[in-house]
């Protein structure tokens, strides 16, 4: 009977319902509940990279970096272009001040979903940390355009960074 359920998609439906419940719990910062629901969804569909990536994000938000890393790696082993897993790995590398690794992961996340303002925002910050403020300015301007289109309150921060990057770029000798 189990084969029939999975054949007609009931397992997928159940897993997706658990995933939705996990996202609701995550939104309420109920991380333990979110992780429990994600575990149940993963048990039903262990090869779903998005579930693993979401699990990593919950761990990351809860300050459990090692568990987050393991979940992101599992997601990427299932699907190397999993946006959320690449983004999460980028955040970890950013926090570790490993700018080149962060850029690589954020680029992969951007390739997977070029509409995510957060990815562009962090790419800008990584380039800034490397002293490449022209690139930082370009990425932050792109992030701002998406944030404005979404009427996202984070556009205020993006605007501040743009002003800072413009100052830094104007201080560069011409040709750099």
Interval 18-58: pLDDT, tens: 999 999 999 999 999 999 999 999 999 999 999 999 999 99
The CATH number of whichever domain residue 49 belongs to comes to 1.25.40.10
Report helix, strand or coil for 64.
Answer: coil
Shared-domain flag, residues 85 and 33: yes
Q: How far apart are CA 44 and CA 165, in angstroms?
A: 47
Residue 107 inside a domain? The answer is no
Shared-domain flag, residues 72 and 139: no
Q: Which of 102, 130, 147 is the last residue of a domain?
A: 102
Shared-domain flag, residues 72 and 33: yes
Give the HSE-up count for residue 122: Cα atoms under 13 Å, Cβ half-sphere: 27
pTM over 0.95: no
Residue 18 inside a domain? The answer is yes
Shared-domain flag, residues 78 and 141: no
Residue 110 inside a domain? The answer is no
Residue 174 inside a domain? The answer is yes
Q: Using alpha carbons only, what angle is made at residue 121 by residues 117 and 123, rounded to the nearest 5 degrees? A: 120
The tally of domains found in the chain comes to 2
How confident is the model over 125-161, as pLDDT tens digits? 999 999 999 999 999 999 999 999 999 999 999 999 9
Per-position b or e across 114-150, b if 16+ CB within 10 A of its CB: eebbbbbbbbbbbbbeeebbebbbbbbbbbbebbeee
Average pLDDT value for residue range 96-125: 96
Domain that holds residue 17: 1-102
Shared-domain flag, residues 124 and 97: no
pLDDT of 173 > 80? The answer is no
pLDDT of 65 > 70? The answer is yes
Residue 149 inside a domain? The answer is yes
- Kindly state the tokens that stand for 152: 């996202």
The CATH number of whichever domain residue 149 belongs to comes to 1.25.40
Q: Which of 102, 134, 154 is the last residue of a domain?
A: 102
Residue 109 inside a domain? The answer is no
């Amino acid at each position: 009977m189990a084969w029939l359920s999975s054949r007609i998609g009931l397992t997928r439906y159940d897993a997706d319902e658990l995933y939705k419940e996990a996202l609701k719990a995550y939104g309420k910062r109920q991380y333990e509940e979110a992780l429990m629901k994600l575990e149940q969804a993963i048990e039903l569909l262990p090869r779903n990279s998005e579930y693993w990536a979401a699990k990593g994000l919950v761990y990351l938000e809860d300050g459990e970096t090692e568990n987050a890393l393991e979940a992101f790696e599992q997601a990427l082993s299932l699907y190397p272009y999993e946006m959320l897993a690449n983004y999460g790995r980028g955040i970890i590398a950013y926090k570790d001040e490993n700018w080149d690794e962060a850029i690589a992961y954020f680029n992969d996340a951007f390739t997977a979903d070029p509409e995510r303002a957060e990815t562009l925002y962090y790419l800008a910050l990584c380039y800034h940390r490397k002293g490449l403020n022209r690139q930082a300015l370009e990425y932050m301007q792109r992030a701002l355009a998406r944030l404005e289109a979404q009427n996202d309150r984070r556009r205020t921060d993006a605007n501040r960074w743009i002003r800072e990057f413009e100052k830094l770029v104007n201080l560069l000798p011409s040709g750099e």
